[in-house]
Structure 1
Amino acid sequence: MKSLIVILTLLYACVVKAQEYEFPEDFQFGVATASYQIEGAWDHGGKGENIWDRMTHERSYLIEDGSNGDHACLSYYKTEEDVQLLKDLGVHFYRFSISWSRILPTGHANKINQEGIDYYNDLIDRLIAAEITPFITMFHWDLPQPLQEIGGWPNALLADIFVDYADVLYKVFGDRVKDWITFNEPAQICEQGYATADKAPAYTQEGIGGYLCAHTLLIAHGKAYRLYYQDYHEEQQGRVGITIDTGMYMPADEESPDDEEAAERTIQMYYGWHAHPIFSADGDYPQIMKDRVLAKSLEEGFPKSRLPSFTDAEIAMIRGSSDFLGLNHYTSSYCTTIPDEWVLQRPSNYADIEAWCYASPDWETSGSSWLTVYPEGLRKLLIWIKERYNNPEIIITENGFSDKDGSLNDCRRVNYFNSYLEQVLLAIHVDKVNVTRYTAWSLMDNFEWRRGYTERFGIHHVDFDDDERPRTAKMSAYVLKNIILTKKINWDYTPGGFSECDWDNWGTEEPEEEINEV
């Protein structure tokens, strides 16, 4: 009982301190989008076909509502309007992605589409004129279809083809763009794209395809980084990083060594899989991952590990190849060792890890089955990264909350941003974690991949029933604007025109439905 009182006292002290803390003067806030999710104009302006175009057109049954991104938010035609939304928010930067197929319609650098370059030049120039920093992601899941025809990311040749693409971007945009991300979420690209089929191109080569894909991506990232410092950095003075997603994985029973090992094993073999080769002192994949995949592979009758090996030169080239660590975080999980009867009798990353991870039934749910609300997990994760990777600069490149009703009075999203940002404040001031930027996902409701338009993450509502796709600011947009302006979190702030949130009965109210559902 005494220990419980001590813990509750400390938690109360942290909450009070979080309300007193401010974000550092040089801390920056932004919002993010991705090209396929918002641009539309899928076959206009000289753009080539990508893997999401192909999958949504030929296998629409894979999308929950049978929809696609052909029109999405029509951002290709609404640059001026979208930049005005950003300016109204007061953000310091805008993280958006380039459509590879819009720049190089065949995926290769032998054919450059000037219309695509003009589109992004206009966006970049308007952002700079509005005093908003352009923050570009080179690849956010929309691989040109011709490159998938030669095997996609599991084909090692794509590393050099990607570097050719990066070279074009540095050359045409690097005079104004100083912040680059090579890849967004390698695990989603690889494990879900080439193993579990939850993302395009929706292949199911479990235990092999994901590992081959990630190996190519890491080499491509390292080469693109080295190219920038070899040919462009001296003149352009920009920075290049990567964004890696993860939840925080915690032991289901803190007193159980097995659960502690299961949680650590999971984060090492999910997040460390991509982060360790770049940010650790030694480079290469985590040792526990190499050991486990090798042992499992031999048990399964393979003559060698299903996990590819880097050469010494590749390890050296990839290690340290990032000027910051981009972190996408939404939710957390408890982990325990998977029961023997649940182990898959086929090769897979899941079977290699041998852990069962799940959300607490006490956590608030969202519009996405995978996203539950546990703000403390973000602080724990930031501390974990600080301790494992020598406190690198961390840019939170995505963090956000989904619903299904699209309500303008989005109290649940407001609660999410306030509570997660409180944990960022504690990590900065109490734990001395080097977090320098925060990016809310997303600027507007958009095409949510295989969930189509059934889930909404936007701080601006988009009416997909209207051919003009009008945008309307939600309460969360005004709350974020206030945080950016004041550098503080104010739980009592309710923008004019919105009803107050009932914080005392949080999580018990029914979702509002005054906005049309898709």
Structure 2
Amino acid sequence: MDWMKVVTIGAVLGVAAAARRFPAGFKLGTATAAYQVEGGWNASDKGESIWDHFVHSRPEVISDLSNGDVACDSYHRWREDIQLLVDLNMDFYRFSIAWPRVLPTGFPNRVSKDGVRYYSDLIDGLLEKGIEPLVTLYHWDLPQPLQDLGGWTNPQIADWFTDYARVVFEQFGDRVNTWLTINEPQSVCDGGYTGLLAPGLESEQRGAYLCTKHVMLAHAKAYRLYEKEFKPKYVKGQVSLTNHMMWYEPETAQDAELTELVKDYAIGRYSHPIFSAAGGWPPALERHIAQRSREEGEPRSRLPPFTQEEIELIRGSYDFLGLNHYTTKTVRAVAPGEATGTYVSGGFAELGAKLGARPEWRTATSSWLSIHPEGFRSLLSYIKQQYGNVKIFIMENGVSGSGEELDDQSRVDFYRDYLAQVLLAMEQDGVDVIGYTAWSLMDNFEWMDGYQ
């Protein structure tokens, strides 16, 4: 991995250019998600997922009217995927398991032999080539029958997810050491309940908050299951979830307090219950939403409370902190009469906060992705300040391009500059980063942007 583990950061440090190395044991890999690459959407006895249902029932929501029915066809071409990883000399491959491919109805009374065989072959193929499989249990493809019962707003889903996790741990736990329960709860909840992502519902201040609580409980129950029943057998096993964290900077000095509340909302809502010493919701955010709820005539806070038992269940349910990072946003108070937007399209209505970018930051092909490498170091240092010297495993980082040029120097520059900031955070700020995952292995179905 020497070609990627050496980063020139002399210019960043303000000293003569010098090759700096990540420490021994630092892991480098790449990642995909099942719906974005597998295809085979109805192969064998696979069940329908919320993304299958979303793109088939509302094709107009995808900008190029495409879908993931075939995608990269990894369901049939997984051997070629492994060869790509060999050619890249990767330490590990992070992929996700499609819940409805293993449990067609979402429930464990029916386990697909073909679905299990597909993932078992992929795992064995990786291990044969010396590549570590790193498995995500849930990357947004909820079985549609569970969505019909309320999906992530139904409190029973924490148990449904744990039942699914048990099946996967039983099938593959002897060969997989590193697990992620849920990818980007913020996208699952804030994206799924602002109409942006599947299931495409609009309930930002009710559905999203119910989802947030139930995602936290689902993760924790799956973690405790592994801790109790599987960790004694597989002592090298480790489990966490991975959160999408943008970095946030105040647009002006007057926006500093609001920016801290935005961090609580966008980072802390999905991290404080797990990684903080106290557990539960971030206190300032909990007070803010309770006050807003009262002012708007609500009989109780829209943010559902945790019981003490739930706080203890969730708190400490990690072996490392999984981190997805792409961009930095500026924060300011929304102007009177101004539309706020959602967390990707521009803001947080609950907080009266508007997100933006500084004019000097370049923008990727994805309009929301402003390129500001220094924000990555600031985020890593913030995590250490908030949650102690937790081990951080970067599970996604990358940049979108037009796809018109394979010799894409802009992407090379992005990886070099962002990796340099990771190394600075490690060497100068004492942040314990143990690995880095480039998103993604190959061009794929990029959700609402299709294949553009």
| TM-score grouping bracket, smaller chain normalisation | over 0.9
SS at match of 1:436: strand
Tell me the equivalent position of 1:59.
58
CA distance in 1, matches of 2:283, 2:338: 25
Tell me the equivalent position of 2:72.
73
Question: Match for 2:47: what amino acid?
Answer: G
**How many Å apart are 1:17 and its aligned residue?**
7.4
Tell me the equivalent position of 1:341.
337
1:436 aligns with 2:429: no
SS at match of 1:66: coil
SS at match of 1:271: helix
**How many Å apart are 1:86 and its aligned residue?**
0.3
**How many Å apart are 1:18 and its aligned residue?**
7.8
**How many Å apart are 1:15 and its aligned residue?**
4.5
SS at match of 2:192: helix
1:328 aligns with 2:324: yes
**How many Å apart are 1:12 and its aligned residue?**
5.3
Give matches, 1:257-276, under 5 Å: 258-276=254-272
TM-score (norm 2): 0.95
**How many Å apart are 1:268 and its aligned residue?**
1.0
Tell me the equivalent position of 1:511.
none
Which among 289, 293, 297 is matched to residue 293 of structure 2? 297
SS at match of 1:267: helix
Which among 196, 206, 218 is matched to residue 208 of structure 1? 206
- 1:206/1:349 contact within 8 Å kept: no
Seen in structure 2, the aligned counterparts of structure 1 residues 314 and 357 have a Cα distance that, compared at 3 Å, is same
1:26 aligns with 2:25: yes
Question: Match for 1:164: what amino acid?
Answer: D
Question: Match for 2:13: what amino acid?
Answer: C
**How many Å apart are 1:20 and its aligned residue?**
3.8
Return the index of the structure with the highest Cα Rg.
1
**How many Å apart are 1:16 and its aligned residue?**
3.4
Question: Match for 2:399: what amino acid?
Answer: F
CA distance in 1, matches of 2:340, 2:396: 32
Tell me the equivalent position of 2:394.
396
SS at match of 2:232: helix
CA distance in 2, matches of 1:374, 1:428: 18
Tell me the equivalent position of 2:107.
108
Seen in structure 2, the aligned counterparts of structure 1 residues 377 and 17 have a Cα distance that, compared at 3 Å, is farther
CA distance in 2, matches of 1:86, 1:354: 44
CA distance in 2, matches of 1:338, 1:390: 33
Question: Match for 1:358: what amino acid?
Answer: G
Tell me the equivalent position of 2:120.
121
Tell me the equivalent position of 2:249.
250
**How many Å apart are 1:82 and its aligned residue?**
0.6
- 2:340/2:353 contact within 8 Å kept: no
CA distance in 1, matches of 2:311, 2:12: 44
Tell me the equivalent position of 2:146.
147
SS at match of 2:94: strand
Question: Match for 1:262: what amino acid?
Answer: L
- 1:18/1:426 contact within 8 Å kept: no
- The 10-residue stretch of structure 1 (361-370 or 273-282) with the greater mean CA deviation from structure 2: 361-370
Seen in structure 2, the aligned counterparts of structure 1 residues 135 and 205 have a Cα distance that, compared at 3 Å, is same
Which among 347, 350, 353 is matched to residue 352 of structure 1? 350
1:87 aligns with 2:83: no
CA distance in 1, matches of 2:339, 2:449: 28
- Provide structure 2 residue ranges, at least 5 long, that are not aligned to the other structure: 1-8
After superposition, the C-alpha distances for 1:197-240 in whole angstroms (9 at most, x for unaligned) are 11000000121110001110000101100011111100012010
Fraction of identical pairs, as percent: 48
Tell me the equivalent position of 1:96.
95
After superposition, the C-alpha distances for 1:165-224 in whole angstroms (9 at most, x for unaligned) are 000011000000010000000010001102x11100000012111000111000010110
Which among 298, 311, 315 is matched to residue 315 of structure 1? 311
Seen in structure 2, the aligned counterparts of structure 1 residues 391 and 340 have a Cα distance that, compared at 3 Å, is farther
**How many Å apart are 1:264 and its aligned residue?**
1.2
SS at match of 1:234: coil
- 1:247/1:331 contact within 8 Å kept: yes
TM-score (norm 1): 0.83
Tell me the equivalent position of 2:278.
282
CA distance in 2, matches of 1:344, 1:399: 26
- 1:343/1:354 contact within 8 Å kept: no
SS at match of 1:438: strand
- Provide structure 1 residue ranges, at least 5 long, that are not aligned to the other structure: 1-9, 455-518
CA distance in 1, matches of 2:285, 2:10: 35
- The 10-residue stretch of structure 1 (403-412 or 217-226) with the greater mean CA deviation from structure 2: 403-412
**How many Å apart are 1:437 and its aligned residue?**
0.2
Question: Match for 1:294: what amino acid?
Answer: A
Give matches, 1:37-56, under 5 Å: 37-56=36-55
Question: Match for 1:129: what amino acid?
Answer: E
After superposition, the C-alpha distances for 1:68-98 in whole angstroms (9 at most, x for unaligned) are 1000000001111110110111111100000
1:416 aligns with 2:424: no
Question: Match for 1:82: what amino acid?
Answer: D
Seen in structure 2, the aligned counterparts of structure 1 residues 360 and 432 have a Cα distance that, compared at 3 Å, is same
- 2:273/2:314 contact within 8 Å kept: yes
CA distance in 2, matches of 1:17, 1:340: 50
- 2:10/2:18 contact within 8 Å kept: no
Seen in structure 2, the aligned counterparts of structure 1 residues 351 and 17 have a Cα distance that, compared at 3 Å, is farther
Question: Match for 1:38: what amino acid?
Answer: V
Tell me the equivalent position of 1:224.
222
**How many Å apart are 1:291 and its aligned residue?**
0.5
SS at match of 1:88: helix
- 1:31/1:443 contact within 8 Å kept: yes
How many equivalent residue pairs? 439
SS at match of 2:269: helix
Tell me the equivalent position of 2:130.
131
CA distance in 2, matches of 1:219, 1:374: 34
Tell me the equivalent position of 2:232.
234
